[in-house]
Amino acid sequence: MEETYVLANADHQKAVDLLLAAERDCRPIPRLSDSFPGMSIADAYAIQRQVVDAKLAAGGRIRGHKVGLTSRVMQESVGIDEPDFGHLLDESILGTDRPIAVDRFLVPRIEVELAFVLGRPLRGPDVTIADVLMATDFVQPALEIIDSRTETPRTVVDTIADNSACGAVVLGGRPVPPTEVDLRWVAAVLYRNAVIEESGVSSAVLGHPAAGVAWLANRLATFDTALEPGHVVLAGSFTRPVPLAAGDIFHVDYGQLGSIALAFA
């Protein structure tokens, strides 16, 4: 993976300002890869982190991370040979007690995932699946609402800079210790307005969803960062993204791990 910075610091700041304005105004901006030709993956992660830092300076708090592009098909589609990651902030964790306003997003879609909530820190570079399971307090169903603050279709650097397309996260279902169930075979069925739209099994995430968490811990080590106790980590989607609109009602059945229901207004 390319680790060389191509853009100047001033260009990083321009990209940060554009992304923050797009989110604030709920209006997509041109692709950053077009506005800043030659932009590298290293540049994209630097921009992502500066956006996060701006939100932390405004009072936000990091709640965890998300892993994306966990399937080979998705990686090949954007020209990358490993997953990517983004940050979860407190503003992105939503509840199910009331309908979620669609107008807070630009192009929202839902993905079905598992969330790992850590009880112990995880620091790479040599984290394994076994390390993840030992460090995890519990695992629970999660839905990620992915979004795009830039015009589409996008390249991988556009997605990474835009916080790996994270829009919001909804947690629910039944939290379980990581050894209570075989996490490779957690299945889910997604209903939109009482019609089955998607289904999948969690082994589609790199063979084991904990592999996504291990990859993340090891990748973060290159930034001298670790996963902290209490952090929520979305391990990666095991369904295709499903578009959503105002008035839609979703029900996602995770079998023995319970279900999540949410509505959009």
pLDDT at 183: 97
Report H helices in 66-171.
72-78, 129-135, 156-161
**What is the domain count for the chain?**
1
Segments forming the whole domain that contains residue 199: 62-263
Q: Residue 116 maps to which CATH number? A: 3.90.850.10
Asked whether residue 54 is assigned to any structural domain, the reply reads: no
Asked whether residue 29 is assigned to any structural domain, the reply reads: no
Give every CB contact of residue 21 below 8 A, 6+ residues apart in sequence.
Answer: 29
Asked whether residue 10 is assigned to any structural domain, the reply reads: no
Asked whether residue 19 is assigned to any structural domain, the reply reads: no
Cβ atoms 164, 85 nearer than 8 A: yes
Q: Tell me how many helices (H) and strands (E) the chain has.
A: 7, 12
Asked whether residue 4 is assigned to any structural domain, the reply reads: no
Largest CA distance in the chain: 51
* Per-run averaged pLDDT (10 residues), the chain, 265 residues: 83 98 96 96 97 97 93 61 91 95 96 97 97 98 96 92 96 96 97 97 94 96 95 95 97 98 97
Asked whether residue 44 is assigned to any structural domain, the reply reads: no
Asked whether residue 26 is assigned to any structural domain, the reply reads: no
